[in-house]
């Protein structure tokens, strides 16, 4: 028994922020951002938060799957930007959906959040513990970036994507999840602290800080490695894979991965030009676009792969 994605959904805020808009607030320009990243515009929240986006994506995924909220056994939300320290965003989603029979919790793996949540769901289903699950990747990094730091504020966008997963004979076959905590400082967001009555600390703003080149080098090495691992373990070859659906951080990272895997670029769908890097949401948003536009056919073998803060990275091989 394995688990299969039977429905997808996504949500992005309506507000579009273009590269030209950002050039008005930091010293940057469209040519630099597009040329270095492939990003032309992104969506940014006005009022809504991570949970709101997650709920909307989840409703669309349930509708697409034809599954009722009360059928859900487990809800996993991959996010690095929950609206509250606690309760988990997943519990908020459960409440909004009235998924009364589910257990819900968050998974913190930054941009790998959806992949880690999906692989965790697969483990629960494969073990026979649960049958029907909802996996969400949602992030609202616009609330965590320093809008004066041109090195990071041009990269990210807000959004959410979701997948309904069910126990079936065919579906996810191989998974890899890895992390390297020794490099946690390469990409981090130190949370705001009020201190306590003994140490008299004053609250500090916590912004995303990133060594972009280190993340780039890590991604182009580790992503091909974990993709090769799931393919090797499945006794398939690269040519058996229809699409590689990678975290949408930078088109140059994806080009480099394609080159290392010796695979054509048309196997690597991309949408970061419209949404920027939506962190844990990027893989499920892209998957939902592909599903709804009919690009995914029953029996297609696809590999999903995410990477990000932690450092974390992983891959999942599945049959659609």
Stretch that binds ligand UT7, among 82-90, 211-219, 220-228, 257-265 (CB under 6 A): 211-219
The answer to whether residue 250 forms part of the interface with ligand UT7 (CB under 6 A) is yes
Residue (of 260, 313, 271, 314) closest to 295 by Cα position: 271
Rule CB under 6 A: is residue 24 a binding residue for ligand UT7? no
Q: Which of 105, 184, 216, 268 binds ligand UT7 (CB under 6 A)?
A: 216
Could you tell me which residues come within 8 angstroms of residue 13 by beta carbon, excluding any fewer than 6 positions away?
43, 44, 45, 46, 48, 53, 158, 159
Q: Which residue is nearest to ligand UT7 (CB)?
A: 212
Q: Is 259 left (phi over 0), alpha (psi -120 to 50) or beta?
A: alpha
DSSP 156: B
User: Rg (Cα) of the chain, in Å, rounded?
Assistant: 19
The β-bridge partners of 172 are 318
Classify the phi-psi angles of 116: left when phi > 0, otherwise alpha if psi is within -120 to 50, otherwise beta: alpha
Cis ω before 10 (30° cut-off from 0): no
Interface with ligand UT7 by CB under 6 A: which range of 87-95, 121-129, 133-141, 205-213?
205-213
Determine whether 140 is an active site residue.
Answer: no
Catalytic residue among 91, 111, 140, 189: 111
Interatomic CA distance for residues 192 and 48, integer angstroms: 21
Regarding 184 and contact with ligand UT7 (CB under 6 A), the answer is: no
Please say if 274 is a catalytic residue: no
> Which residue in 91, 247, 250, 291 is the catalytic one?
247
Number of residues that bind ligand UT7 (CB under 6 A): 20
Q: Which of residues 26-85 bind ligand UT7 (CB under 6 A)?
A: 28, 32-33, 36-37
**Closest distance to ligand UT7 from the beta carbon of 262 (Å):** 22
Given a contact cutoff of 8 angstroms between Cβ atoms, the answer to whether 134 and 84 are in contact is no
- Least Cβ distance, residue 305 to ligand UT7 (angstroms): 12
User: Catalytic positions, please?
Assistant: 111, 247, 277
Residues making contact with ligand UT7 (CB under 6 A): 28, 32-33, 36-37, 111, 150-151, 154, 187, 210, 212-213, 215-216, 219, 249-250, 277, 308
């Amino acid at each position: 028994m394995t688990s299969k994605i039977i429905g997808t959904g996504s949500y992005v805020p309506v507000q579009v922020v273009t590269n030209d808009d950002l050039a008005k607030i930091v010293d940057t320009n469209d040519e630099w951002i597009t040329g270095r990243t492939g990003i032309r515009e992104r969506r940014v929240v006005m009022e809504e938060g991570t949970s709101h986006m997650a709920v909307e994506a989840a409703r669309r995924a349930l509708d697409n799957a034809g599954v009722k909220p009360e059928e859900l056994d487990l809800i996993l939300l991959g996010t690095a930007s929950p609206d509250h320290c606690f309760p988990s965003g997943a519990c908020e989603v459960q409440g909004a959906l009235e998924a009364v029979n589910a257990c819900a919790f968050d998974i913190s793996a930054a941009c790998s959040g959806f992949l880690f949540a999906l692989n965790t769901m697969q483990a629960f289903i494969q073990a026979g513990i649960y049958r029907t699950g909802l996996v969400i990747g949602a992030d609202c990094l616009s609330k965590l970036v320093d809008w004066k730091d041109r090195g990071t504020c041009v990269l990210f966008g807000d959004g959410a994507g979701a997948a309904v997963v069910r126990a079936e004979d065919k579906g996810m076959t191989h998974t890899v999840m890895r992390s390297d905590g020794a490099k946690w400082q390469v990409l981090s967001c130190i949370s705001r602290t009020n201190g306590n009555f003994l140490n008299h600390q004053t609250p500090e703003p916590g912004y995303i800080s990133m060594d972009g080149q280190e993340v780039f080098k890590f991604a182009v090495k580790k992503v091909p490695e974990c993709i090769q691992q799931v393919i090797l373990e499945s006794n398939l070859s690269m040519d058996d894979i229809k699409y590689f659906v990678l975290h949408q951080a930078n088109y140059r990272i994806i080009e480099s991965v394609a080159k290392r895997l010796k695979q054509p670029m048309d196997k690597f769908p991309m949408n970061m030009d419209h949404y920027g890097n939506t962190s844990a949401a990027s893989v499920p948003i892209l998957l939902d676009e592909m599903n709804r536009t009919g690009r995914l056919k029953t029996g297609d073998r696809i590999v999903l792969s995410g990477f990000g803060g932690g450092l974390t990275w992983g891959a999942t091989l599945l049959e659609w």
